[in-house]
Amino acid sequence: MARVMVVFGGRSGEHEVSLASARAITGALRRGGRHEVVPVGITRSGRWISSGDPMRELESGLQELPDGSTLEIGGPPAAAGEKLPANLGSVDVVFP
């Protein structure tokens, strides 16, 4: 089973469109039964959410997230030389 990381949200004016796209993509991947989806959300302020239910967190509009549920970085992990938490494990594909 391939592990697919789906990254969504972000600081863009297209934040809501990204959430809608991610819902459709993750739903299709899960229905197909051949992929494990690893969701990673980005808040409007740029905080990356990699634990719990990132989609629910972003849709709820919470400004303060529970400790340990975010990774604070200045840009995309690869561009900033940062790494996402090890508890995400390895992934086969990243779908931005």
Beta bridge partners of 39: 6
What is the pLDDT, as a whole number, of residue 72? 47
**Looking at the 3D structure of the chain, how many domains does it have?**
1
What is the pLDDT, as a whole number, of residue 52? 87
What is the pLDDT, as a whole number, of residue 73? 45
pLDDT by 10-residue block (mean), the chain, 96 residues: 94 93 96 94 90 90 52 50 67 91
- For the entire predicted model, the pTM comes to 0.75
What is the pLDDT, as a whole number, of residue 74? 47
The domain containing residue 17 runs over which residues? 2-95
Whole-angstrom CA distances from 42 to 5, 26, 93 are 13, 16, 18
Please count the other Cβ atoms lying within 10 Å of the Cβ belonging to residue 38: 22
What is the pLDDT, as a whole number, of residue 14? 93
Contact 12, 45 (CB under 8 A): no
Give the DSSP H or E segment for 65.
Answer: none
CATH number of 46's domain: 3.40.50
What is the pLDDT, as a whole number, of residue 61? 72
